[in-house]
Each structure stands twice: as C-alpha cells, then as structure tokens.
C-alpha cells in the first residue's frame, strides 16, 4: 500500500505543486477577523459531484449556514438570482463575501454584481480551505 500511495503522490499534479520543497517559506497564518455582526460577512462554496435529484440538481451551494440546491450547469445569472432571492432578500447585503477561487466566484459577472451591491469580494488562499473556518461558525 505504501508503494501505491507513493506512486499516486508522484503522479498527482496538485501534490507536486504543493510539496514543501516547491514552496517559498511561509510566515504566520493570518486568520480573517471575526465578523462583528451576523450576516455582515458571508462565506460560500459549492459541494459538487452529488447524485442528481428529481429536479436534476447535482450540487449544493453553501452560504454560511444556508444550503441552496443548484445544478453545476447554472451560469452566473442564475446564481445571482438565487443569491438575491435566498441571501440578500432574507438577510440584506453583506459587507464582505469570502469564497474559494472557483470560476463561479472569479467571473467578471460575479465581480460586477458584488461591485454594484457594494460588497467586497475576498478569496480563500489556494490549497488552504481553512481560511473558510471563520465564516462557518
């Protein structure tokens, strides 16, 4: 089994990119500040690769403590509609939105939407999803 693991790691692009000997020395981790008010800052991510439901949903869009059924084929306009209906309408516009660097969150459309809403967009560090821990509490 040890040989299988070593072989997998040797062939895995992500594993090779994040190996310690390929990285610059890091300083202390800088955690995000704890929000001062509920829904003032939100974190979001997608859970993908799920079996399709009767409505053909195959992913979950996680916004702090919200779970919104979505399809991986949804484009920016549909995600914006769901965001307005399920987050902004119920809780107001957050001052900051923290997400991973998924293409859904780095698109020009998504950036323009948040600029229009007056929300700052921040992204978690690549290969360090623990950045999101402060948002999920």
Distance between CA 125 and CA 132 in Å, rounded?
9
Task: Supply the pLDDT for residue 12.
Answer: 82
Task: Supply the pLDDT for residue 137.
Answer: 43
Task: Supply the pLDDT for residue 26.
Answer: 58
First-to-last alpha carbon distance for the chain, in angstroms, is: 37
More confident position, 10 or 49:
49
Distance between CA 52 and CA 71 in Å, rounded?
9
| Residue 82 DSSP SS3 | helix
pTM of the shown model: 0.52
pLDDT cut 70: percent of the chain above it? 75
Query: Which tens digit of pLDDT belongs to each residue from 37-59?
Result: 777 777 888 989 999 999 999 99
H/E run at residue 42: strand 41-47
Query: Which tens digit of pLDDT belongs to each residue from 19-35?
Result: 666 556 655 566 666 67
Is the domain spanning 38-136 CATH 3.30.420.10? The answer is yes
């Amino acid at each position: 089994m040890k040989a299988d693991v070593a072989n997998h790691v040797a062939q895995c692009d992500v594993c090779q990119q994040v190996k310690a000997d390929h990285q610059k020395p890091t300083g202390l981790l800088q955690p995000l500040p704890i929000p001062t008010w509920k829904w003032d800052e939100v974190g979001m991510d997608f859970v993908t690769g799920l079996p399709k439901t009767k409505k053909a949903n195959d992913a979950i869009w996680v916004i702090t403590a919200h779970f919104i059924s979505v399809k991986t084929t949804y484009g920016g306009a549909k995600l914006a509609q769901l965001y307005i209906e399920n987050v902004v309408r119920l809780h107001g516009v957050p001052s900051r939105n923290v997400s991973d660097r998924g293409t859904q969150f780095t698109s020009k459309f998504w950036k323009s939407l948040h600029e229009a809403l007056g929300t700052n967009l921040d992204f978690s560090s690549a290969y360090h999803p623990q950045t999101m821990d402060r948002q999920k509490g």
